[in-house]
Structure 1
Amino acid sequence: MWKIRSQPSRVAPASRPQGVVGQAKHRLFSPFQRFPPRHLWVQGGLLAGVGVLLGLSLAPAPTGWMAWGAIAPLWTSTVAVPTRKQAAFLGGCWGIGYHGAALFWLFGLHPLTWLGMPWVASLTVTTLAWGVATLWGACLPMVWAASLRWIGPALGNFSRIAIGTALWCGLEWLWSLSPLWWTDIANSQSPHNTSILHLSQLSGPIAITLALASVNGAVAEAWLSRQRKFLGVAIALCLAFHGLGWKLAQAPLASQPAERLSIGMIQGNIPTRFKLSSAGIDQSIETYRQGYETLAAQKVDAVLLPEGALPWLWGQSFGQERALVAAVRAAKVPLWAGTFVPKGEGYTQSLLSLGASGEVLSQYDKAKLVPLGEYLPFESVLAPILRRLSPLRMGMVAGSSHQVFETPFGRAIVGICYDSVFPELFRAQAAAGGQFILSIANNDPYSDRMMAQHHALDVMRAIESDRWLVRVTNTGLSATIDPRGRTLWKSAIDEHVTHVAAIERRRTQTLYVRFGNWMLPAIVFGSIGIAWKMRIDA
């Protein structure tokens, strides 16, 4: 390990102790070093416990501070174990603990007996969904740990911090391109740590991940080397990132009366298991028609309905549509309605913009569909198996990742439920001229924990794009969020609610909106440059 040797050695390379493993006995320490390799399962269990604690720190818990040290135990163990396979095993244990705890709300799907599914089959499908999501998320720290164990021993302490941070950031970006994603570590800071969340205005969530991973790396190197300077580096980095975020959060929100909008919001609170029946359809149209008329009488500029509020294929249920369109024509207040729209042999989950005359002005189709819930990945392989367990209807079609949503008040940014996980969808719409965000979701039958995590995602989307955000859900949490990430109003869950949100249109462009995720290549190439220079200088 060339960086930390006090004097250059003239011993032939073949006889030198190689890297961290060869010198760990004398120079390096790990919190779990007391457990010999044959007790690897003990280390894995401890790391799984650390991951569980971090997973439980996500919203609504105000304990996101744990993320500033929760990766460090994995880091130290990864560097200290003898082989890459052992490192990958430890990374998997940590990842299963973190993602499994964070995604445990998926069991809210059970029981699915209302779909005609037997109780045991329902539990099987729900467990499968949770297991697949957990294991896919756990693959990320597995790959990271194996990679760091492979590269790390040849690096000095500072080089290892740079490379380890770049690896984590790059892998999170890669995983976010997959159809199955939710729990990047940046989520742990939302919605409570708004100072650090403002780093996302620079380069999206990757800027927050950079802050968390680098601080964890410095803490880990302090353990490994028993050198206090690295603890000082960790503290300095943490303070610097918070200071920069706080500075970004202090930018004033100039009020412009000409840009104000009042948006009526209706949280219908109609359970999905009932909504899809004929009685549920009748209740839906009555609930939302009455809510629309009440809000229109309050002179709002527009009314927003949640995802799937009108549970039929638009254009194929004329009785219900006529009643709603007639109400819009009478009140002459634009309506943004979540419904389903036929497309080819399938249909889309959509938000329609109805003008004052009841005509459809614009349409946004949900771009990110939920695997196993709204479509079957690898359908030719999985469909014959899952259809024996589930009456899942096929045919939902994903919308394009490059859409615009026109309204009578200018272009809006739209996200439908799972879209909120993917910041690039919102960034692209903001760059294309979107002036405010409309986020709609169902969120039934999930628990308040899932609702809080989904709300936290929308807080991040509002900050990144510097836009006001109105989120309306079927069962909660509906909310109004300002561009600084402050929740100005939030509904109760499992209640029928109408509310008027006061927002403003904005045309600003953050660095992230303008240049996208520019920080990632800078991190990767910069860390490689640092490591190469330190190796040459050693």
Structure 2
Amino acid sequence: MIKLGQQKISKSIKYYTLSFISGIFMGTTVAPIGAWLLAWIALVPLWILIIKYTSKTDPPAPRPLPLALIWGIGYHGVALSWITGIHPMDWLGVPWLPSLTITLLCWAFISLWGGILVSVWAALMVRLDRGNPWLRVLIGTAIWCGLESLWSAGPLWWSSLAYTQSPQNLVILHLGQLSGPNAVTAVIVAFNGLIAEYLTHRRKGAKEERITIYSALSLFILAHLIGFILYSQPLTEGANTAIKIGVIQGNIPNKIKVLPEGLRRAITGYTEGYLNLTNQEVKAVLIPEAAIPIFSRDLSQTPFLAAIREKGVIAWIGAFGEQGSSYTNSLFTVLGNGAITGRYDKSKLVPLGEYIPFENILGGIIQRLSPLEAHQVPGKAKQIFDTPFGKVIIGICYESAFAENFRYQASMGGKFMLSSSNDAHYTAAMANQHHAQDIMRAIETDRWAVRATNTGYSAFINPHGQTLWKSAYNTYETHAETIYPRQTQTLYVRWGDWLTPLLLTLSAMAWFMAK
């Protein structure tokens, strides 16, 4: 009896270890490792364990919920480990020990939040199981896409399964032009499910064995073939629409950014960079998020605005806007005469970094841990940014993870993308992941993208997700490229994410028919 108990415990430990390791494998698909191929098999072990539990095999598998939670923590914990780069928060004046505490709590929470998504998925898989492998794959794919849609509608979102393929697998990312990131996610989940069903049936010697593996391979090939067709479409651009745009990567450490020394260095660096770029005959210049950390009303007194009035070239400036007694993190259009004519307010704020979630409950705790002030407020949803070049799609830093924001602006006539960011308080891995997110947004909307960051990676990206130029990291740089405004509308831009509701509807119909 004792021996059987020990065997059961040993078996459970093996299952939990397998689940955690496979989740870690999924986490290694993104920067800094970029093992993107692992995304096509990393969900297989968890799927097999769910089948094993629902099939009531002997010996039974552990309950799927903790297995799924561990898988999700492994995935999101590794993929989002760059969050630890915020420590030490000396750039915010936070003492070392409270900084470490906040950092570890943030890392634990976002890992757990991702784990909850996978746990809900596993719970619904078990609850809705009918013992049919094809129905299981359909339901599993639909639920995962539905949960990613739900999670991305909230304030805390970054690590869709789709971004495991960026920037390496540009071909499959072109499915995003059809139905957004969930089109890529759906193929990844369905392929993993079919492989898991194949491996399960092979052990049983079931007749479905060959059909499932053939279906998996067919799905993989067909998805990449469709992506390749979209990827191969020529970028026919008219020479008369060309716009030469410059970016400045200021490389101002966050520790001194809001101090007088940092402000002087920023104004000097961005003014010199602007003058250098205007000598290259650019039509506009983009600088990073909050590059000039003052209110817009004070910009007119700076040498930077004097240089703009002298040269007459448009600039998009990251600074602070006023909203009552609070402030916004904003991007402003400054015309050649120095007039500020356009404003976009960042609508997706970073929890703790830019606002305190559940402030009524957590505000006192956070204030005891650090001197963070929660006076920044988000901008309105569905903003339109007009410029002398027409409407433009704007993303400020964290917003790059929210595909719907970019889709809406493209549907309203946004002709190209401007991404203004400051990733200085994280690691190079985060900067690479951020670049990967903007690659996905450029592909989904079929737009040229211009990225200006404080410390890297600034870049120019074409509508096929190809990076034309990418800066070094932690360096001061200026660069100019020619881009082309576009007015095309992909299926995703026109219809949004139509695939997820379709999959959920088909799953519901198939489930009721199978009862």
Q: How would you bin the TM-score normalised by the shorter chain?
A: over 0.9
Give the CA deviation at 1:505: 0.5
User: What is the alpha-carbon distance in structure 1 between the residues aligned to residue 406 and residue 32 of structure 2?
Assistant: 23
1:472 aligns with 2:452: yes
User: What is the alpha-carbon distance in structure 2 between the residues aligned to residue 309 and residue 204 of structure 1?
Assistant: 31
1:300 aligns with 2:265: no
Give the corresponding residue for 1:220: 196
Can you list the C-alpha shifts for 1:287-322, whole angstroms capped at 9, x where unaligned? 1111111111211000110001001122146643xx
Can you list the C-alpha shifts for 1:395-427, whole angstroms capped at 9, x where unaligned? 111111211111111111000000100000000
Q: In the alignment, which of 51, 75, 84 is matched to residue 107 of structure 1?
A: 84
1:259 aligns with 2:235: no
User: What is the alpha-carbon distance in structure 1 between the residues aligned to residue 26 and residue 182 of structure 2?
Assistant: 18
Can you list the C-alpha shifts for 1:412-461, whole angstroms capped at 9, x where unaligned? 10000001000000000000000000001001021111011000000000
Can you list the C-alpha shifts for 1:172-217, whole angstroms capped at 9, x where unaligned? 1111111111111100010110110000000000100110011111
1:505 is paired with a residue whose SS is coil
Give the corresponding residue for 1:360: 340
Give the CA deviation at 1:222: 0.8
Contact 2:15 2:62 (C-alpha < 8 Å) held by counterparts: no
1:231 aligns with 2:213: yes
Give the CA deviation at 1:327: 1.0
5 Å-filtered alignment, 1:389-408, equals 389-408=369-388
1:92 aligns with 2:64: no
Give the corresponding residue for 2:113: 136
Give the corresponding residue for 1:418: 398
**267 and 317 in structure 1: CA distance in 2 versus 1, 3 angstrom threshold:** closer
The residue type paired with residue 255 of structure 2 is: R
1:310 is paired with a residue whose SS is coil
**98 and 80 in structure 1: CA distance in 2 versus 1, 3 angstrom threshold:** same
User: What is the alpha-carbon distance in structure 1 between the residues aligned to residue 459 and residue 91 of structure 2?
Assistant: 29
Give the corresponding residue for 1:433: 413
Can you list the C-alpha shifts for 1:344-397, whole angstroms capped at 9, x where unaligned? 111000000011111111101111000111001100110101111111121111
Give the CA deviation at 1:263: 0.5
User: What is the alpha-carbon distance in structure 2 between the residues aligned to residue 60 and residue 255 of structure 1?
Assistant: 34
5 Å-filtered alignment, 1:173-322, equals 173-226=149-202, 227-316=209-298, 319-320=301-302
**72 and 96 in structure 1: CA distance in 2 versus 1, 3 angstrom threshold:** same
Give the corresponding residue for 2:328: 348
Question: Structure 2, unaligned stretches of length 5 or more?
Answer: 1-5, 203-208
2:128 is paired with a residue whose SS is helix
**468 and 317 in structure 1: CA distance in 2 versus 1, 3 angstrom threshold:** closer
Q: In the alignment, which of 296, 299, 308 is matched to residue 328 of structure 1?
A: 308
Give the corresponding residue for 1:31: none
Contact 2:242 2:482 (C-alpha < 8 Å) held by counterparts: yes
Aligned residue pair count: 499
5 Å-filtered alignment, 1:373-392, equals 373-392=353-372
2:337 is paired with a residue whose SS is coil
2:297 is paired with a residue whose SS is coil
The residue type paired with residue 452 of structure 2 is: V
Give the corresponding residue for 1:522: 502
Can you list the C-alpha shifts for 1:440-486, whole angstroms capped at 9, x where unaligned? 10010211110110000000000000000000100000000000010
Contact 2:12 2:62 (C-alpha < 8 Å) held by counterparts: no
5 Å-filtered alignment, 1:440-479, equals 440-479=420-459
Give the CA deviation at 1:324: 2.0
> TM-score under structure 1 normalisation?
0.90
Contact 1:460 1:485 (C-alpha < 8 Å) held by counterparts: yes
Contact 1:431 1:509 (C-alpha < 8 Å) held by counterparts: yes
1:312 is paired with a residue whose SS is coil
1:49 aligns with 2:25: no
The residue type paired with residue 223 of structure 1 is: L
5 Å-filtered alignment, 1:504-519, equals 504-519=484-499
Contact 1:468 1:481 (C-alpha < 8 Å) held by counterparts: yes
The residue type paired with residue 126 of structure 1 is: T
User: What is the alpha-carbon distance in structure 2 between the residues aligned to residue 375 and residue 299 of structure 1?
Assistant: 40
User: What is the alpha-carbon distance in structure 2 between the residues aligned to residue 516 and residue 489 of structure 1?
Assistant: 30
1:150 aligns with 2:127: yes
Q: In the alignment, which of 436, 455, 468 is matched to residue 488 of structure 1?
A: 468
The residue type paired with residue 50 of structure 2 is: T
Give the CA deviation at 1:37: 6.5
The residue type paired with residue 180 of structure 2 is: G
1:172 aligns with 2:144: no
Give the CA deviation at 1:105: 0.6
User: What is the alpha-carbon distance in structure 1 between the residues aligned to residue 31 and residue 200 of structure 2?
Assistant: 32
User: What is the alpha-carbon distance in structure 2 between the residues aligned to residue 185 and residue 37 of structure 1?
Assistant: 32
User: What is the alpha-carbon distance in structure 2 between the residues aligned to residue 117 and residue 434 of structure 1?
Assistant: 40
2:483 is paired with a residue whose SS is strand
Contact 1:215 1:234 (C-alpha < 8 Å) held by counterparts: yes
User: What is the alpha-carbon distance in structure 2 between the residues aligned to residue 84 and residue 510 of structure 1?
Assistant: 45
1:315 is paired with a residue whose SS is helix
RMSD of equivalent CA atoms: 1.6
Give the CA deviation at 1:257: 0.6
User: What is the alpha-carbon distance in structure 1 between the residues aligned to residue 82 and residue 144 of structure 2?
Assistant: 25
Give the corresponding residue for 1:58: 30
User: What is the alpha-carbon distance in structure 1 between the residues aligned to residue 462 and residue 33 of structure 2?
Assistant: 21
User: What is the alpha-carbon distance in structure 1 between the residues aligned to residue 95 and residue 376 of structure 2?
Assistant: 24
Give the corresponding residue for 1:25: none
User: What is the alpha-carbon distance in structure 2 between the residues aligned to residue 518 and residue 341 of structure 1?
Assistant: 36
Give the CA deviation at 1:60: 4.3
The residue type paired with residue 419 of structure 1 is: E
The residue type paired with residue 338 of structure 1 is: G
User: What is the alpha-carbon distance in structure 1 between the residues aligned to residue 346 and residue 89 of structure 2?
Assistant: 24
User: What is the alpha-carbon distance in structure 1 between the residues aligned to residue 144 and residue 118 of structure 2?
Assistant: 8
User: What is the alpha-carbon distance in structure 1 between the residues aligned to residue 132 and residue 9 of structure 2?
Assistant: 24
Question: Structure 1, unaligned stretches of length 5 or more?
Answer: 1-33
User: What is the alpha-carbon distance in structure 1 between the residues aligned to residue 512 and residue 91 of structure 2?
Assistant: 60
The residue type paired with residue 427 of structure 2 is: S
Contact 1:78 1:146 (C-alpha < 8 Å) held by counterparts: no
Give the CA deviation at 1:508: 0.2
User: What is the alpha-carbon distance in structure 2 between the residues aligned to residue 220 and residue 354 of structure 1?
Assistant: 55
2:369 is paired with a residue whose SS is coil
Q: In the alignment, which of 92, 97, 110 is matched to residue 120 of structure 1?
A: 97
User: What is the alpha-carbon distance in structure 1 between the residues aligned to residue 343 and residue 67 of structure 2?
Assistant: 47
**50 and 197 in structure 1: CA distance in 2 versus 1, 3 angstrom threshold:** same
The residue type paired with residue 108 of structure 1 is: G
> TM-score under structure 2 normalisation?
0.94
Contact 2:90 2:255 (C-alpha < 8 Å) held by counterparts: no
